[in-house]
């Protein structure tokens, strides 16, 4: 079954909407959503992210990589969390994604995660990764 990543993107409007709902209520509704994913056997992982001030960015240019401590950008759309689900197809991923309990101003980008067999195959690195995935139960 393919895996999909739901990427939660937030805006100033969505953070404002959270204050109207309340943090406890938001956590409760997100917990119920995650529990439904768990009960369906679809949840692989889900995490919220710490504030920008705790992060950093690594920019790769013509010279050595440059590290900039957060907060590092003024953004209209902030990557704020994610889910990884293992579902039958894009239609099922869509069904789960539209149920995420986020308020106005939020956006969820859904992307299929490449499977190990999606590429042409045949390299030693791919075989080593396949062996690692098999050993750790990720195949």
Token pair for 84: 């990884």
Task: Give me the pLDDT at residue 75, please.
Answer: 62
Q: Which residues pair with 136 in a beta bridge?
A: none
How many domains does the chain contain in total? 1
Residue ranges in the chain modelled with pLDDT below 50: none
Cα→Cα distances 14→1, 17, 22, 29, 46, Å: 32, 5, 12, 15, 19
* Domain encompassing residue 44: 3-59+66-135
pLDDT digits (tens, 9 = 90+) for 11-25: 878 877 777 887 788
Task: Give me the pLDDT at residue 72, please.
Answer: 64
Q: How far apart are the first and last CA of the chain?
A: 10
Task: Give me the pLDDT at residue 64, please.
Answer: 92
Task: Give me the pLDDT at residue 137, please.
Answer: 83
Q: Evaluate if pTM is beyond 0.85.
A: no
CATH number, domain containing residue 7? 3.30.70.1060
Q: In sequence order, which ranges of 3-72 are alpha helices (DSSP H)?
A: 12-21, 23-39
Residue partners of 139: CB distance under 8 A and separation at least 6: 116, 130, 133
Token pair for 23: 């943090």
Displacement of CA 67 from its chain's centroid (Å): 23
Task: Give me the pLDDT at residue 88, please.
Answer: 96
């Amino acid at each position: 079954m393919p895996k999909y990543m739901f990427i939660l993107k937030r805006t100033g409007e969505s953070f404002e909407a959270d204050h109207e709902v309340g943090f406890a209520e938001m956590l409760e509704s997100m917990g119920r959503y995650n529990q439904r994913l768990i009960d369906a056997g679809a949840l692989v992982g889900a995490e919220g992210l710490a504030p920008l001030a705790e992060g950093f960015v690594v920019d790769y240019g013509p010279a050595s990589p440059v590290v900039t401590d957060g907060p590092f950008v003024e953004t209209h759309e902030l990557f704020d969390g994610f889910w990884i689900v293992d579902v039958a197809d894009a239609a099922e991923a869509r069904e789960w994604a539209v149920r995420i309990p986020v308020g106005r101003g939020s956006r969820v980008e859904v992307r299929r995660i490449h499977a190990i067999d999606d590429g042409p195959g045949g390299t030693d690195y791919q075989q080593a990764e396949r062996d690692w995935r098999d050993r750790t139960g990720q195949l």
